Amino acid sequence: MEMTDCPMTGSQTLMSRARQLASPVLAAVAFVSSLAFTAQAVAQNPGAMAIIPRPPQIAASSYILLDAVTGKVIVEENADVQLPPASLTKIMTAYIAEVEIDNGNMSLDDEVHISEKAWRTQGSKMFVDVNSNVRVEDLLRGIIIQSGNDASVAMAEHLAGSEDAFADMMNQHAQRLGMTNTFFMNASGLDTEERYNIMSARDLATLARATILEHPTHYALYSEKEFTYNGIRQPNRNTLLFRDRNIDGMKTGWTTAAGYCLVASGERDGMRLISVVMGTASEDARATESQKLMTYGFRYFETAKLYSAGDVLSTAKVWSGKENSVELGMTEDLVATIPRGQAGELQATLNIDETIRAPIEQGQVLGTVEVKLGEDTIYQGNVAAVQAVERAGLLKRLIDFLTMFFANLFS
């Protein structure tokens, strides 16, 4: 099977190329078609190819920057090293609460009883009263905005009966999300000899991405700049919310062992980025280093939507069917993270099954598409039948069989 790469250009239409390729003698030969950009993708990338500088130097023990939509990592350093996450742990505590709410197992208006253990928890506090009842929504704000250790323990006890049982839930969710360098011992991130959480920058980015994509209505809490409870007003510790209008989350952390840490997320020009820095030297440093990553990502990269799910890319010959051809389309949106100004350098390979016989179901996978930028593969996905094709009658099937037989005989 011979395959060639073709530039993705706006000048060549999909259908004209398809007519060249879908000839009746194309019985048992897979074909490769060039794919045209959508007009939107071309419009976003005018002019000469941009020059992408080296990533900035980041003063942190570990860091990562990725595109929240595509999951593409733009910059990373020591991203799989296991480190204490401090209060970044609370992103998982809040995430589990969000899962329970969206699954209908808990309501924002439910009241949570505050145990003596939760009330006595040291470190940053929401300042809940012992034996009081607090609404789940307030408790979430206490966890996310005020970084309350007391609120985190109270939520853990409410959802799992005890903080130890909740830690088991946290580890199960981490495993489900593919967070392979994470282990939780508590719900708050407090470091003690007995309860010492570990996470990696990549795992934190994975968790942040799940929070943003799976529970977007709850993510809005991360952008709130202050919260007052029990008459005590506390500002959000994420100072990037106050100095960069593109940033709308997420969470800070600090302990002696962890240093100053920050998971940040923001959106600009249709691109959402997530950055994680761990082990920086100060509160200002974690914000400064995070902003370096964000600025680099927004300035030199973009999230380009090349095709939408269902867009027709080409047509293919169908044998033994009531119809002689079938339209092939995307099974999902084709969205890619690319350097700005390099859309014209993309190359796509459309590889169709050698022989396509009816019956064909709508949505049946009939080939693949691969998009490359230079030597890097930036997308691989399936193409599928846009419509169903029923099996033909006996005479048509016999004619197609003989046509295929002689085509293969003399090829």
The full set of domain ranges for the chain reads 6-38+311-409, 62-303
87, 115, 265, 275: which one is catalytic?
A: 87
- pLDDT for res 396: 72
Cβ distance 118 to 128 under 8 Å?
yes
How many whole angstroms from its chain centre is CA 253? 23
pLDDT tens figures, 129-177: 999 999 999 999 999 999 999 999 999 999 999 999 999 999 999 999 9
Per the structure block, which two tokens stand in for 29? 């030969």
Domain 6-38+311-409 sits in CATH 2.60.410.10: yes
Question: Half-sphere exposure of residue 210, counting CA atoms within 13 Å on the CB side?
Answer: 20
Domains 6-38+311-409 and 62-303 share a fold: no
pLDDT band, very low/low/confident/very high, at 269 (cuts 50, 70, 90): very high
Question: Half-sphere exposure of residue 207, counting CA atoms within 13 Å on the CB side?
Answer: 32
147, 152, 188, 200: which one is catalytic?
A: 147
Whether residue 26 is predicted with pLDDT greater than 80 in this model: the reply is no
Per the structure block, which two tokens stand in for 14? 């999909």
Cβ distance 309 to 331 under 8 Å?
yes
Cβ distance 335 to 21 under 8 Å?
no
Whether residue 56 is predicted with pLDDT greater than 70 in this model: the reply is yes
Tell whether the torsion through CA atoms of 54, 56, 62 and 64 is positive or negative: negative
Least confident of 27-31, 155-159, 206-210: 27-31
For residue 208, the surrounding DSSP H or E stretch is helix 201-214
Q: Cite the beta strand spans of 78-216 per DSSP E.
A: 111-113, 133-135
34, 90, 115, 200: which one is catalytic?
A: 90
Q: Tell me the C-alpha distance between 317 and 24, whole Å.
A: 7
For residue 410, the surrounding DSSP H or E stretch is none
Annotated active-site residue 125? The verdict is no
- pLDDT for res 6: 37
pTM: 0.84
Residues paired with residue 384 on neighbouring β-strands, in sequence order: 329, 365
Whether residue 179 is predicted with pLDDT greater than 90 in this model: the reply is yes
> How high is the mean pLDDT of the chain?
87
Per the structure block, which two tokens stand in for 109? 């208006």
Mean pLDDT on 340-360: 87
Whether residue 400 is predicted with pLDDT greater than 80 in this model: the reply is no
Q: How far apart are the first and last CA of the chain?
A: 14
CATH class of 62-303: alpha beta
pLDDT band, very low/low/confident/very high, at 19 (cuts 50, 70, 90): very low
Annotated active-site residue 147? The verdict is yes
Mean pLDDT on 350-365: 90
pLDDT tens figures, 292-345: 999 999 999 999 988 888 889 889 998 888 989 899 999 888 899 999 988 888
